[in-house]
Each structure stands twice: as structure tokens, then as C-alpha cells.
Structure 1
Amino acid sequence: MSRVLRQAGTASCLALLAGLPLSAAALEFSGYGRVGVGGAAEGGKQSCFQLPGAPAKYRLGNECETYWELELHQTLYKGVDGTELKVHGMASLYNVYDQTPTFSGDNGNVRLPQIWTSLSLPALNGGGLWAGRRYYKRHDIHINDFYYWNPSGTGFGVEDYGLGDSGMRLSYAFSREDNIDQPDKANRHDLNLGGIKTNPGGEIELGLSYIQRAGQVQNAHSGWSATAEHKQAQFFGGVNVFTVQYGRGPGTGLGATGSLTADQDYESLRVLESPRWQLTPRFGGQLLALYQRDWAPGDGGQTWYSFGVRPSYAFTRLFKLQVEFGHDQIHPDSGATRKLNKVTVAPTLALGGMGLMDRPEIRLYWTYASWNHGAQDAAVAGTALSDSGAFGDARHGNNFGVQLETWW
């Protein structure tokens, strides 16, 4: 009760300061968090397994950091005609296991990845305007935390303009790539058409991105990418996603912005299929099958294959068992093939429900991984797969630990 009163008091103060009626001061909280502790069976701290050159890893029992997202949404104005003005903000907190939280560098950080405002307008047929820094129309695969379509950034746009009675929604966004891993920014234009009905429970979403040449970057080029996705709802109690993406130049980042110095000889093609099911209240799971081909001048290209599956079965209202298998394989145009296999067994205290996506849950986990010489030779020194990492030159390793994951 005290928390509710504090939130109501905060909302009232903000409303009074803004000169708004108290009824307009709707304050909403949401967030995500995971925290835990782990170690390596061979001794020392937990060291996570990711194949060099692959942009994602299978995450169950394979996350070596504490991470939280705290999100706030504040309604500033809501009119009787449906007009609504809101502000949105998010703080994220990240800290590597067994590291002092310096909040800078690799050991930890605090960021403000989202701070933006939205204005819903009846004239836009269910759509609205927005401006600021935000996560924009992100699509991900839960079991490996892979954001394959992620045109986020700092900018502005028109979102989800309704096209008559068709159910289709048209969006345009102008942004600057806002990623801490990419210091050079470029103007990006994203056009999105969603809600294209194809069959009962199924619809298609299309996206086209154009990245302008960045004049402040030497040898920069323009580029583009296109995405087509079919999403099938009510798929064995879950959802099925089939996606095809293609890009050239800086568009080879596909869901985001790639290297700004990549010319039109650089191309990328990605195809992925990912069903998520909940066949019964007790039995759920998700699968991913992915193919990606990257072309580059000379022998700079590669082919990435990924396959993973996580079944989850609840034996009781409070206990479920999750098992995850993941395989990543990369064939460089020049050099040795890299392979990584990872399996995790996780007995889970299911505090939020019996389904795959119900949270919160507390997991005990044991993870085993094996990899080949090609992966070991390509790994960065000190990482799990390198011969100078936690497992030496063994080319296999075990981790164990406990983790809490929640969202609200």
C-alpha cells in the first residue's frame, strides 16, 4: 500500500508542476531483470560460451552478468478525443559476475537507452508521432537474445498510421544509429508496413531501411536493407515467426546499421524460422533455425548456421525443468570452420506460472559446451573458447550457478 501511495503522490506532484489535471497523471512502471552467481566446474569464475563471429549465443545457463532495465511511462495529457501525450524513459544497469561495479568499461555501466515522447492523434487513425531515443520496432528470438531486426536510434517519426479498414499500419522513422558499439553515426530512414493479413491468425510485416553516406567518416558509403516477416499467432498455443532479410553496404547490418565503410560489394542474406509453443499449460518451448550468408570482397565473407531448442515442462505448479541445446557453426571464406555445441539443464522454481514465458523464476543450472580447433584459434585471448581462457586448451568446459529472471 505504501508503494502505491508513493507512486500516486509522485504522479500528483508531477501533474501539479505541469499544470495538468490529476486525472492526466497516469504513471506506469515496467522492467526486466536477471541476477545470479556462477562458477566454472574447473575452478574460477563462470565464463560464457559464444562462437567467434556469431552475433548471439544461447542464453540459458550462459549469461555472465547481472542486468536490469527499469522503465517509466508518464501520461502528461489525455483528451476526450483520444489525443494523448506521454514521456517514456528507461535506465539499464549492467555488471559482469565477480567484477567490481565501476559503472564504466567492461565491468559495468549505467545507461539511459531510452528517453522519448509520444503523441497519439485521432487524425492518424490509431497512430501517432514520436521523438527522442528509443527501442524502435525491435524483433528478437528469446532463447538466444538475438535482436535480428532492430532499427533503434535517436530520431523522430510517424508510427502505425492506420490505412483505412485494412488493418495495415504504415510507419516512417528518421534516426541516427545509437549503439555504444558503433561510435560513428549515420542518417537512417526506416519505412515499415505491418498488419498485412494473409491467413487466419497470420500477418506479414515489411521493412525497408536506407542508410545515408556519413560525410564525417572517411571512405563511407550508403546502403540499404529489406526485411519480410510472417508471424503466425495461435501456433500450438504460441507463435511462429519466419523472416527473410537482405542488405548491401552499411545495410549488411540487416536489422541495424552495419559498417559505414562497406561498399556495394558487401552483401548479407539471413533466413530464420522460430516457432514458440505452449502445447499444454505444462509443456512449452522455442526453437530456432537460422542461416546467414555474408559476402565480402576477396575472402572476407562467411556463412553462419545456428540451431537451438529449449523445451520446458512443469512437473508441479512451482517446479519446472528446462533443457536447452544450441549449435553454432561458421564457415569463413578463408580459414578453418568454427563449431560450438552447448547444452544446459536447469531445474527451475516457477514463481510466476508453469509456462515457458512465465516469470519470475529461479533456476539452478549446469551447462556443458564443446568446440573445435577452429573456434579456439579464432577466439579472443582470455575468453571461454580461447586456449588462454578459463578452460585452457581443453576445448570443452562446464559452468554451474543460480539465476533469478523476472519481468513485469
Structure 2
Amino acid sequence: MSSEGNLESENSKDDSANFGIKQLNVQAKGYIPSSPDAVIWAGKRFYQRHDIHIIDTKYWNISGYGVGIENIKLNTGAISAAVIRADNELAEWDDTGNKTSYGDLNTYFLDLRYAGFSPWEGSWTEFGVDYAMVNPTDEQEDAAENFDNGLMLTAELSQSFSLGYNKFVLQYMDKGLAQNAIS
């Protein structure tokens, strides 16, 4: 099966069948005695995406197939960790606009998040580190100049108000991780 860089569908190798599988995963809760609210999961999912609601733009989107554990309680807040594989199409365009595709480029993400610290009343935070490891095929390595691993750091501060809440976000990305901030 191939996704051709699309998280919302899968195709058979010969493109004879297309499946609209957005999410398909298994989750288990209550298996860690010291943290009964922790969730262990495996499968395809939209993993803790963060967005700007009015324009539906995801600025923190590490989604795909993977395994992880969420909501491990600490004294203050909770941590989550995941390994996720996302396939994005590797393609290049010539001067006339013709596209040459080299298939899906496998990228493995290591995602670590801490959420739930409240600096003052009505506020909450979330911090994250994402490291992307690229896994190109031999054909893809021959076609492109280089494949560098990438790093993304995210810090959010949210504040509730009587009519809603406000969110302030700082992000740093290098190499190819910018796509995960604007999906």
C-alpha cells in the first residue's frame, strides 16, 4: 500500500484500489499502575494536532502510522512520547513544470511532549521536541542532493478568558520539518 504523501488515503501498489482510511488505531488505557490515565496506542492517527481554528491550519502536525504512550502523569502536568512514520511524496519539477515523482519518502518522527504546567490561574502550557529521521530509498538518494534529519521545537502558552482563550506559540524548525507546521 502507498499513500503518495496523502494522510487521508491509501492505494494498492498497482493503483487498482484506493482506500479512504484517515485513522485506524488501537488504544489501551489503565495498564500502567502508576499512571492509570496513560494511553498506549498503535496504528494510524492524527497525533495531537494543534491548529488555528478560524483558518483550519495545523501548525503542529506529526501524524501517520506509529506507536506511543500519552498522558503519563507527573507531579505537575503529563508527558507523551511517540514514534511516527509519515510518508510524503518526493518529487521534482523541471523548468517547464513537468513533475517527476520518486515515490513516498519515509520519515520517522520521534515526538516528546510535556503539557499541563500552569504558570498562573487560567493558563496552561505545552512544550514539544520533534526529531525527524529521513529514510530514503537508493533511487531517492540518487535523485536528490541530500537528506538531512530535522528538528522542531514548540512552546505554547494558553490563557482562558470569559469568552474563550488565547494561545501564544513559538516554534523553531530546521531542515525539512517546516511542512509539519503549515499543514
Determine if the TM-score, normalized by the shorter chain, exceeds 0.5: yes
2:164 counterpart letter in structure 1: G
Amino acid aligned to 1:245: Q
In structure 2, the partner of 1:223 is 150
Deviations 1:247-282 (Å, cap 9, x if unpaired)?
11122335379xxxxxxxxxxxxxxxxxxxxxxxxx
1:192 aligns with 2:113: yes
Change (3 A) 1:209 1:177: same
Matched with 1:155 is 66
Amino acid at match of 1:185: N
* Structure 2 Cα separation of the partners of residues 193 and 127 of structure 1: 13
- TM-score with structure 1 setting the length: 0.34
8 Å contact kept, 2:88–2:105: no
Superposed CA offset, 1:123-182 (max 9, x none): 234112100000110111121110111111100001110013x2x110111011156799
Residue 237 of structure 1 corresponds to: 163
Contact 2:116–2:125 under 8 Å retained in 1: yes
**Percentage of pairs with the same residue:** 32
The CA distance in 2 between the partners of 1:150 and 1:254, in whole Å, is 5
Q: Give the whole-Å Cα distance in 1 for the aligned partners of 2:36 and 2:181.
A: 27
Are 1:203 and 2:130 counterparts?
A: no
Answering whether residue 41 of structure 2 is matched by residue 130 of structure 1, we say yes
2:81 matched residue in structure 1: 172
Q: Match of 2:21, as an amino acid?
A: L
- Contact map agreement 1:196 1:203 (CA 8 A) in 2: yes
Contact 1:153 1:176 in 2 (8 A): yes
Quick check: 209-218 or 236-245, which moved more? 209-218
Letter in 1 for 2:128: G
Aligned to 1:384: none
> For residue 130 of structure 2, what is the amino acid of its counterpart?
S
Q: Aligned pair in 2 of structure 1 residues 220, 180: CA closer, same or farther (>3 Å)?
A: closer
Q: RMSD of the alignment, in Å?
A: 2.6
Cα separation, partners in 2 of 1:205 and 1:248, compared to 1, 3 Å:
same
Aligned-partner Cα distance in 1 for 2:182–2:104: 14
Distance of 1:215 and 1:183 partners within structure 2: 9
Letter aligned with residue 45 of structure 2: R
Task: Give yes or no for contact 1:226–1:254 (8 Å, CA) kept in 2.
Answer: no
Q: Does 1:255 find its partner at 2:181?
A: yes
Using CA pairs under 8 Å that are at least 6 residues apart, name the structure with larger relative contact order, 1 or 2. Answer: 2
Q: Is the 8 A contact 2:67 2:82 kept in 1?
A: yes
Q: Kindly provide the CA deviation profile for residues 309-352 of structure 1, in whole angstroms up to 9, marking residues without a partner as x.
A: xxxxxxxxxxxxxxxxxxxxxxxxxxxxxxxxxxxxxxxxxxxx
Structure 1 residue runs of 5 or longer lacking an equivalent are 1-91, 94-103, 258-408
1:212 aligns with 2:133: yes
- Measured after TM superposition, the shift of residue 213 of structure 1 is 3.1
Are the aligned partners of 1:245 and 1:254 in contact in 2 as well (CA < 8 Å)? no
TM (normalized to structure 2)?
A: 0.73
Q: Determine the C-alpha separation between the residues in 2 that align with 1:170 and 1:186.
A: 23
**Amino acid in structure 2 at the alignment position of 1:201:** G
- Structure 1: distance between partners of 2:19 and 2:56: 20
Structure 2 unmatched ranges of 5 or more:
1-7, 10-14, 91-102
Task: Please state if 1:117 is matched with 2:44.
Answer: no
Once the 2 structures are TM-superposed, how far is the Cα of residue 210 of structure 1 from its aligned partner? 0.4
User: What is the number of equivalent residue pairs in this alignment?
Assistant: 149
